[in-house]
Amino acid sequence: MKMRLAEIAKALQVEPKEEWEEIVVTSVSFDTRSLEQGALFIPLVAEHDGHDYIENAIKNGAVATLWQEDHDENAALIPKLVVSNSLQAMQKLAHYYLQKINPKVVAITGSNGKTTTKDMVAAILGRRFNVQKTHDNFNNFIGVPMTVLSMEPNTEVLVIEMGMDHFGELDELSHLVEPDIAVITMIGEAHIEFFGTRDKIADAKMEITHGLKEDGVLIYNGDEPLLIQRTKEIAQETNTFGTSDNVNLRALNVVSNDEETSFRVVQWENENFVIPMIGSYNVINALAALSVGKLFRIPVEEMKKALKSFELTKNRTQWLQGAKGEQILSDVYNSNPSAAKLVIKAFSNASTKGKRMIVIGDMLQLGISSKEMHESLAEVIDPDKIDSVYLCGEEVEPLATKLVSKFDKEHLHLYKATEKMELVADLQSEISADDSVLLKGSHGIHLENVLEKLV
């Protein structure tokens, strides 16, 4: 990003001062710890009030700041743009900057797979275009505008991941970025605590089309009846992917091993695609990405190369080596029943010289369905394939009860969320160099802390 402060002021309908023409803003940040020289500091009001950190922002190189009008203006000793709400002003600035750079926008949502699909889409389109994508978990009402504002001026395609846990969030984000292409990977049970049913989750996911351009395209999972039903109500073109006969891109001959998964696509029957990921379920994400690439007219050979070597955001079904030499499959960023079952199945079939152990943390935001959905994981935990089970949290306790008939006390362990170090100690005492370990849980249970100790 590179804009004069006077231009930013005009975009936010703040009366610019003459000297602001000489102040150049080269980045935007709401976190003083990651702030760089030349930044516009955006103090957000949340659990901690960003306005209280203005001195750190100045010390770290901020040249100007937005300033919410209900705060003491004398505290800001750098040029300040006084606004009624700093978050809304950031979103408004992001919308302005997006229109100025004017890239094609691909917006991606879904209960599972949106991050992986985002990474795949960016890799495919990056073969022919300058691409900017969502980094880490910047997929909400703060992260999306931050991603937009971090675009380089030469960005041709912006690939945006969009998350949500309440009605209205995707509506807001979709209107913010006005996508040319919207993608829905699938409908699962994530955040069912707030929605109650999968039908309502589908309604919320469809909000991604609310800002879709009139000549835009919706790409969605054609195996999902809830989406098929709802897409009939939109005017824009639709494309589908999946495994059923009536989709636009259909996968077949899926073969998965410990390190990669290969598949063919009916529409390109002579081509063999490979993704560097365990689990046949990731083929669905690849089909979504290929659907986007097809719309951008990326040659099939280029898409094959991109998928084979794309970089996956960390902690999404990522193989790592532990301190003892064991193989660790880390999938600790988030979890829900659909995703957990898929990765447990894939891990259970991965080859190993030693034992297979799984560490399962709470799946959060499942509401009144939590007990039933945690218990449902028992159906995919096979004692003939899994040697030991380590469970962490309170929500996961019903699963422990369900597994008592399958595992004895030496091979079934339950820990409170505050007992992670005890879990680590017990797990490390069992691990040998030939073993394999799966870690899967919602981000709120923080199994990344267990992972850190293991590696």
Residue 56 exposed, middle or buried by CB count within 10 Å (0-12, 13-18, 19+): middle
Q: Write 381-388 long-range contacts (CB < 8 A, 24+).
A: 381/344, 381/348, 381/406, 382/348, 383/407, 383/411, 385/348, 385/349, 385/356, 386/348, 386/356, 386/357, 386/358, 387/355, 387/356, 387/357, 387/411, 388/355, 388/357, 388/358, 388/412, 388/413, 388/430
Domain ends where: 276, 309, 342? 309
What is the spatial distance between Cα 201 and Cα 351, in angstroms, rounded to a whole number? 36
Q: What is the CA radius of gyration of the chain?
A: 24
97 located within any domain? no
252 located within any domain? yes
**DSSP character string of 361-398:** E---S-GGGHHHHHHGGGGG--TTT--EEEEESSTTHH
* Residue 263 C-beta-side C-alpha neighbours within 13 Å: 28
Number of domains in the chain: 3
What is the spatial distance between Cα 86 and Cα 65, in angstroms, rounded to a whole number? 10
Report the binding-site residues: 110-116
Non-local CB neighbours of 123 within 8 Å, separated by 6+ positions: 289, 306, 307, 309, 310, 311
What local confidence, expressed as pLDDT, does residue 137 receive? Answer: 79
What local confidence, expressed as pLDDT, does residue 301 receive? Answer: 96
Domain match, 45 and 128 both: no
Domain ends where: 258, 284, 309? 309
E strands present in 289-361: 318-321, 327-331, 356-361
Backbone phi and psi for residue 212, each to the nearest 5 degrees, phi listed first: -60, 130
Report if pTM > 0.85. Answer: yes
What is the spatial distance between Cα 94 and Cα 416, in angstroms, rounded to a whole number? 42
* Per-residue pLDDT at 136 exceeds 90: no
- Structural domain that includes position 114: 103-309
> 46 or 422: which carries more pLDDT confidence?
422
Domain match, 141 and 188 both: yes
What local confidence, expressed as pLDDT, does residue 416 receive? Answer: 96
Beta carbons of 292 and 219 less than 8 angstroms apart: yes
**pLDDT bucket at 35, cuts 50 / 70 / 90:** very high
What local confidence, expressed as pLDDT, does residue 361 receive? Answer: 96
Domain match, 240 and 352 both: no
Q: Residues 133-159: what's their mean pLDDT?
A: 94
Domain harbouring 323, CATH code: 3.90.190.20
Domain match, 198 and 291 both: yes
Q: 3-class DSSP state for residue 399?
A: helix
Domain match, 278 and 130 both: yes
The residue among 402, 412, 332 whose CA lies nearest residue 371 is 402
* Per-residue pLDDT at 189 exceeds 80: no
Report the binding-site residues for ATP: 110-116
* Per-residue pLDDT at 87 exceeds 70: yes
* Per-residue pLDDT at 165 exceeds 90: no
* Per-residue pLDDT at 191 exceeds 70: no
Give the tens place of pLDDT for each residue, 316-372.
778 899 999 999 999 888 888 888 998 999 899 888 999 999 999 999 888 888 999
Torsion 410-411-415-419 (CA) sign: positive
Write the DSSP symbol of residue 180: S
What is the spatial distance between Cα 251 and Cα 270, in angstroms, rounded to a whole number? 12
Mean pLDDT estimate for the chain:
93
What local confidence, expressed as pLDDT, does residue 59 receive? Answer: 95
* Per-residue pLDDT at 300 exceeds 80: yes
What is the spatial distance between Cα 361 and Cα 440, in angstroms, rounded to a whole number? 6
What local confidence, expressed as pLDDT, does residue 313 receive? Answer: 79
**pLDDT bucket at 253, cuts 50 / 70 / 90:** very high
What is the spatial distance between Cα 216 and Cα 211, in angstroms, rounded to a whole number? 10
What local confidence, expressed as pLDDT, does residue 195 receive? Answer: 66
Domain match, 62 and 184 both: no
What local confidence, expressed as pLDDT, does residue 20 receive? Answer: 97
What local confidence, expressed as pLDDT, does residue 334 receive? Answer: 80
Domain match, 207 and 261 both: yes
* Per-residue pLDDT at 384 exceeds 90: yes
Domain harbouring 127, CATH code: 3.40.1190.10
* Per-residue pLDDT at 194 exceeds 80: no
- The Cα angle at residue 47 between residues 149 and 71, in degrees rounded to 5: 75
pLDDT above 90: percentage of residues in the chain:
83
What local confidence, expressed as pLDDT, does residue 256 receive? Answer: 86
Q: Residues 426-433: what's their mean pLDDT?
A: 96
Give the tens place of pLDDT for each residue, 254-287.
998 878 999 999 999 889 999 998 888 899 999 9
What is the spatial distance between Cα 187 and Cα 199, in angstroms, rounded to a whole number? 9
**pLDDT bucket at 312, cuts 50 / 70 / 90:** confident
Quick one: which H or E segment has residue 400? helix 397-403
Q: How far is CA 4 from CA 10, 174, 237, in A?
A: 10, 27, 39
80 located within any domain? yes
What is the spatial distance between Cα 95 and Cα 99, in angstroms, rounded to a whole number? 6
Q: 3-class DSSP state for residue 162?
A: coil
* Residue 151 C-beta-side C-alpha neighbours within 13 Å: 30
Domain match, 352 and 430 both: yes
Domain ends where: 252, 279, 309? 309
93 located within any domain? no
Question: What are the b/e assignments for 109-142, b being 16+ CB within 10 Å?
Answer: bbbbbbbbbbbbbbbbbbbbeebbbbeeebbbbb
What is the spatial distance between Cα 199 and Cα 227, in angstroms, rounded to a whole number? 9
What local confidence, expressed as pLDDT, does residue 190 receive? Answer: 61
Domain match, 322 and 435 both: yes
